[in-house]
A = this chain, B = another copy of it.
C-alpha cells in the first residue's frame, strides 16, 4: 500500500472532524495588539489520547497533571496558557493546574478529569489565577478555532506553526492536524516546546502511544536549537474516531500508513520550529546514513546538528568539514574514520576520511541558501537518520542575553 498524504491548505489542529478550539487574551503575556494567551482544544466526543513529555527532572506541575490524566488513555480537552510556565513554584503549582483544568471543564461542560493542562512561559512565577478565572469563560470554541489556539501558545515564536494532512484509508478519509510552538528555551525564560495533534481517525490507545513515540523520536527529538531541554515540553495527540470505521490497531497495513502520516506531520511541524528558531537564518539538515544502527544514526545526526561550531560555520558559510568530522567523532558511534564520506549541499568534500581538494568559493556559494544539508556516509551498516538544527547567530545571543542594563 502506498500512502498518499495530502497537505490541507491553511490546515490546523481543528481540521480534523469533531474538534473545536478557541482562545482569549487573559493578560498573562505582555500586552500588545491582537494577543492571545489562553486557549482550549476540545473533542466533541471523548478521544483516545497519547503523550510524550520532557525528561527534565524539574517538571511543571501542569505536565505532571497532564501525564497522570493522559495515562488513562482518554481525554476530552486541553487548556493551555502562555506567559507563565507554572514551574518552580512549590505546591501551589499543582493546585493552580488543577484549578485551571476545573475552570475549563466547567466552561466547556466536560468532566474535569478529562481536561489536560499545558503551560509555557516564565519559570518561577505563579500562574495569575485571578486572570485565568476572569477570562477562561471568554474562550469561544468553534470549528475554525485551531488558528487561535496556535497563536495562543506562542511565546518568542515569530509566527504560529500549524498544519494538517489528509490520507485515504480503506473506506474513509482521515485528517490529522497539529499546532506547535517553541523557538528556544528562552527570552527571558520563555520556555518549552508544545505540540497538539488532533485526528479524526479511530485509533487504539496502545498503538497511538507507540506510534507517537516513534514519530517524536524521528522529529521533535531530532531537532536542536540550543541544546537545552525545557521543564514543560509536551506533545499530545487526540484521536476521536469521528472519521468512522474500525479502530486502527498495531500490526495492520492501516497502522503502518497512519504511523507514516503521523511521522510526516511531526517532521513537518518540528522543522517549522527550527526554521523559526530565535535568531536563526539558516536551516541545517544532517543526514547520517550507512550507520551500524538506527540509534547510532540518530545520535550522530543530532550531535552534528547541535554542535556549536557546526552551527557557527553554517552561519558564516564556511566549509569547515573538519568540524563535522569532529562532531561525528564526539558522538561516539561505531565507525571507521577512513570510511567516512561527507557531502555539503551535494558537493562531495570528504572521501575515505580525507578531503578532496575543493574550490572554496564554490562551496561557499552552495552554502548561501536557506537550507544547508550535510550528508555523512559512515559506511558501517544500513541505518540512517535525519536531524535538523539552525545556525548560531549574533541575534540569538542578543535575544537570550536580555540585557538587563
Contacts and interface: CB of A to CB of B under 8 A. Distances in A.
Contacts of A397: 312, 315, 392-394, 396-397
Interface stretch (A16-24, A30-38, A72-80, A185-193): A185-193
Interface in A365-405: 368, 392-394, 396-398, 400-405
Nearest to A338: B90
A88 B342 CA distance: 12
Max chain B C-beta neighbours (<10 A), residue from A335, A352, A393, A400: A400
Contacts of A350: 88, 124
Interface residues of A, number: 72
Interface stretch (A51-59, A213-221, A236-244): A51-59
Contact of A329 (B56, B188, B318, B400): B56
A82 B18 CA distance: 66
Interface string A275-309: 00000000000000000000000000000000111
Given A322-B88, A322-B123, A396-B397, A229 B330 contact: yes
Contacts of A402: 312-313, 316, 318, 320
Max chain B C-beta neighbours (<10 A), residue from A353, A354, A404: A404
A229 B191 CA distance: 28
B396 A329 contact: no
A231 B323 CA distance: 10
Contacts of A313: 188, 400-402
Interface string A227-239: 1111100000000
A122 interface: yes
A354 B90 contact: yes
Nearest to A399: B312
B326 A123 contact: yes
Interface in A338-356: 338, 350, 352-355
A87 interface: yes
A326 B332 CA distance: 26
A226 interface: yes
Contacts of A404: 316-319, 360, 364
* Main SS at interface, chain A: loop
B401 A322 contact: no
B185 A230 contact: no
B337 A186 contact: no
A147 interface: no
A327 interface: yes
Given A124-B355, A309-B186, A354-B88, A326 B56 contact: yes
A321 interface: yes
A175 interface: no
A323 B322 CA distance: 32
A257 to B, nearest CB: 36
Contacts of A320: 123, 188-189, 402
Max chain B C-beta neighbours (<10 A), residue from A231, A307, A397: A397
A101 interface: no
Interface of A: 55-59, 85, 87-90, 122-125, 184-186, 188-189, 191, 226-231, 307-309, 312-313, 315-323, 325-333, 335, 337-338, 350, 352-355, 360, 364, 368, 392-394, 396-398, 400-405
15 contacts: A56-B329, A87-B325, A88-B325, A123-B323, A188-B318, A189-B320, A189-B322, A228-B326, A312-B397, A312-B400, A313-B400, A313-B401, A316-B400, A392-B400, A394-B398
